[in-house]
Structure 1
Amino acid sequence: MGRWEQSKCFEKDDAVLLDSLSDVKKELKKKMKKKSGYLLPCLSENDKQYIDLIREQTKQLNQNNVTRTQAYLQFYLQYPEIHWALLGHMVSRNVGWNMTDLKGELLTKLLPERDQKAFFSFLERGSWLIFQDVYPQFSVYDLSVRGSKEMFHLLPFFYTSTFMETMWRYFWRSGDSYTLAIAMVINEQSYLEKGLIQNHHFKKNVTGTVSFKMYEFLRLNNILFPYYEGEKAEKASLVGATSRHFTSLHERILFGKNLYSILFQREEILARVLKWAHECPHTGSRKDYWPDLFNDVNESLPRSLYKRRVKNCLLRKGAKRLYSPSLKYAWPNTPHEDTKSRDWFEDWRVLDYIYKEASFNGEILNNYCKTLETIELAVMAKEALLLREEE
């Protein structure tokens, strides 16, 4: 049953004109007061067809991390004014690498299979939820541009927050790409808070576990943006940042702002990251950016004890590359239950995040290299402990 099939609706008036953030603030305050008695707009037959089409397209593109990641990039290439699409693409690549790490050389030796599956389920659900929320917004924008008429009255039928409906109307009038991008960071993280972080199942089986605390302790949550320094570079350079306090909504929003700053506040970095993303299709394997260190074929001997292979992000002499599988060989597609979560928007003061300062030095290489070496040591320590227990 479509969401438009209801007994009451209101005839859509001309769109509210939002030319400034002070107009946005007034509109959001008004929506907070009206929220309990909110009615959806009435729809034309064309509107209903658009909604069905967008739902089906979103479903087709939301099959797995690879299809989502590619869809974000394709949208950005078509509409580069929508900055979040590229940010979402690059972060989604990192989610894919985190997914395949769970079946890769190192984490399979640290995490029991139960935790591997639980962590993947957590990452996959979050990735699915964000795409389910954001891609219909992109599609409605595309519809608006093609028809030269804003169509944001359709957004409530995809359970888009009242906050984002307001921000899209503001962007349509202002063309303010920065504010829309940060609004989307606020929206997606707030949406995840409701649908994923506060979910009882994931609190019990993922974020509340010893393995998750180890995951944070080992600093496995690096977000990497690869790019080529020159035309014929064999190995990608990296910028990025390390996420801490993942379960804090406040910290995740600030982290998203930092990532945006790294990507969009230096034109040469943006151009090079985009060039790399365009030339290197996403497979989920870390071989995508460092084929000299990672391989999607396992070169190791089965059951052999692990020996250190990495120093300063380079292979030690004679060492085999680290196994990093492609997503399609690591995890099958996962069916998801549809969500009709309650609108997270409750306080217009979330706009304050748009003005907060962001740090964007982007230095990540040393931290990432240390992370790899730390994980190697953890693997060797675990294997040594198991050997002692067997003696």
Structure 2
Amino acid sequence: MLSGKGRHGRRGSGHSRGKRSSLSKIKQLFSLPVAAWDYAVGKWHGMEASHEMLAEAIPLLLVEDAVQELTTAWLKLEGHAESGIAGEGFVGAKMVTDTQGESVIDRILAETARLNRNNVTRTEAYRQMYKRHPELHWAMLAHLVSRNGGWNMTDLEGEWLPHLLPGSKRKDVFMMLEHANAFIFGDAYPQLLLYEESVHAQRPLFHLLPAFGVTRFMRPVWEQFWRRRDSVPLTVALIVNEQHYIEHRVVQSDYFRRNVIDTFFFGMQSLLQLNAVMFPYHSGSELRLAGLIMEHFDDLSERIEFGKALYAILFGVPRVREGVLAFADKGRHTGSRVDYAPQLFARVRRDPPSALYKERLLGGKLLPGAAPIYSPGLGDAWADQLLEAAEPGDWFRSTADIAPYFRKLKLPRSFELTNEYGLLLNKIELAVLAAQQLRLDEQREAETK
């Protein structure tokens, strides 16, 4: 009797599992078309919202005579130093200048080092710079892009990516993000501080730029900005400069190419849409998302055009600009996605990291009773890093190579991502569930051998 009951019990258990599996499949069968329909409707609403905001847009202009003036100045620089850091009065790694100039240099270097501690300190430094000098459009653009960089960093130790990447690979990806973030700050922030020193001194101090290892490409740009106060060519030039600055130091680095960029996971980023750059912006009482999704991070030209498009959205679309500034002033960057989506994310993990992940999302929203997605602050995810100094050298070679970037700033036709973001989250969760199931299947297969 006991053995018979036991066999019956096993059959009942198997039947129960089969029933649950069937119910799950039925649920997916019915929910996926609904989710697809919701996404299609959301996509349409996003395009409609983008179209409506584009009707209010004030396109950013690259004034022809300003570009021509810069082009003439760059052509004169082409015959100068081909490698190393070039500039008048520059000897080795120190500027030959007066005592006052040395004091400015020391002050800027110390302040840059103090604020270049981690992604949170850099991101806040950009915001404060923009608050002091709103004519420096690039500072606000850098603040927002740096926010996204911080979210990407903490994702690596958050709810989902530990299921997709081993610890050593997550550290490699973090170090690539950290190098890019720190190197750009180390190159650009001294330029912003030198402009601020010039404002205080009421005279241009851009002859000191070589002391900070800044490419000779930027001096004519800053000198023109001092005269014209035209924010557009300066911002485009900084976008061009910073992407060139990290091209060989980070993107083409043998280590990062071998361990990050050329890996299967990095190739999956476009599919999973992990490389979205989003601008949270207040629209009435609602917090929405504007931005774009990059396809090929390792393409220098694409990164530059991507940056220009983000700039065109941020400062060319009044509703986005005003909403973004309201968001940026409301709360400081922490690295956690709770900063913009507290209804989805939490800084404290509810379940242990070793627990099996269970489906929590439908249509980009939490299922009833589901725990929020774990998204730690930067300090809880990563310790501060002591990085090596960026390799010296001037990337600028040819005016012909950079001239195409100064022809036009185009506004993308669609940039409202609020609804599309839900699909992005569902894609990542689906990848986690698939990877987890694959591991479970492999374990069962190994146990039966």
> Normalised by the size of structure 2, how large is the TM-score?
0.80
Q: Map 1:296-315 to 2 at 5 A.
A: 296-315=347-366
1:206-217 matches, cutoff 5 A: 206-217=260-271
Q: Determine the C-alpha separation between the residues in 2 that align with 1:174 and 1:351.
A: 20
Pairing partner for 1:333 from 372, 375, 384: 384
Tell me, yes or no, if structure 1 residue 346 matches structure 2 residue 397. Answer: yes
Verify the 8 A CA contact 1:216 1:244 in the aligned structure 2: yes
Identify which of 81, 88, 98 aligns with 1:40: 88
Does structure 1 retain, via aligned residues, the 8 Å contact 2:87–2:210? no
Query: Is the CA contact 1:171–1:177 (under 8 Å) kept in the aligned structure 2?
Result: yes
8 Å CA contact 1:100–1:327 kept in 2: the answer is yes
Q: Is the 8 A contact 2:78 2:397 kept in 1?
A: yes
Deviations 1:90-130 (A, max 9, x none): 00000000000000001111111111100000000000000
Q: Aligned to 1:343, what secondary structure does the other structure show?
A: coil
Match of 1:282 in 2: 333
The residue number in structure 2 matching 1:10 is none
One of 300, 318, 322 as aligned partner of 1:271: 322
What is aligned with 1:9? none
Q: Which residue of 1 aligns with 2:13?
A: none
CA RMSD between the two structures = 1.5
> For residues 36 and 197 of structure 1, do their structure 2 counterparts lie closer, same or farther at Cα, with a shift above 3 Å needed?
closer
Give the direction of change, closer, same or farther, for the CA distance of 1:39–1:174 in structure 2 (3 Å limit).
closer
* Deviations 1:293-352, CA, capped at 9 Å, x for gaps: 000000225533222212232111111100000000100000011124211111113132
Whether the 8 Å contact between 2:312 and 2:409 is mirrored in structure 1 is no
1:215 positional shift = 2.6
Q: Match of 1:224, SS?
A: strand
Which of 29-38 and 174-183 deviates more?
29-38
State the SS of the aligned residue for 2:386. coil
CA contact (8 A) 1:254 1:358 kept: no
Structure-1 residue corresponding to 2:440: 387
CA contact (8 A) 2:67 2:233 kept: no
The aligned counterpart of 2:301 is 250
Which stretch shows the higher mean deviation, 275-284 or 345-354? 345-354
CA distance in 2, matches of 1:377, 1:108: 14
Distance change (3 Å), C-alpha of 1:199 and 1:303: closer
How far apart, CA to CA, are the structure 2 residues paired with 1:208 and 1:60? 33
Structure 2 match to 1:322: 373
Q: 1:280 to 1:159 in 2, by over 3 A?
A: same
Q: Is the 8 A contact 1:195 1:341 kept in 2?
A: no
Q: Which residue of 2 aligns with 1:16?
A: none
Tell me how far apart the structure 2 counterparts of residues 120 and 265 of structure 1 sit (CA, whole Å): 32
Q: 1:359 aligns with which of 400, 404, 411?
A: 411
Check conservation: 1:115, 1:211, Cα contact below 8 A. Answer: no
In the other structure, the counterpart of 2:106 is 52
* Distance of aligned partners of 1:340 and 1:45 in 2 relative to their CA distance in 1, 3 Å threshold: farther
CA distance, structure 2, for counterparts of residue 337 and residue 151 of structure 1: 28
Q: Which residue of 2 aligns with 1:86?
A: 140
Q: Is residue 25 of structure 1 aligned with residue 79 of structure 2?
A: no
Contact 2:338 2:344 in 1 (8 A): yes
Partners of 1:183 and 1:301 lie apart in 2 by: 47
The one-letter code of the counterpart of 2:74 is L
> Which runs of 5 or more residues in structure 2 are unaligned?
1-64, 90-95, 445-449
Task: State the Cα distance separating 1:26 from its structure 2 match.
Answer: 1.3
* TM-score (ref. length: structure 1): 0.92
Map 1:166-205 → 2, pairs under 5 A: 166-205=220-259
Q: Identity over the aligned pairs, expressed in percent?
A: 41
Query: How many residue pairs were aligned?
Result: 370
User: What amino acid sits opposite 1:40 in the alignment?
Assistant: E
Query: Could you tell me how far 1:367 is from its partner in structure 2?
Result: 3.0
Counterpart residue number, 1:372: 425
User: 2:292 aligns to what SS in structure 1?
Assistant: strand
- Asked whether the equivalents of residues 159 and 340 of structure 1 are also in contact (C-alpha less than 8 Å), the reply is no
Give the whole-Å Cα distance in 2 for the aligned partners of 1:92 and 1:224: 11
Matches within 5 A, 1:200-239: 200-230=254-284, 232-233=285-286, 236-239=287-290
Within 1, Cα distance between the matches of 2:316 and 2:243? 22
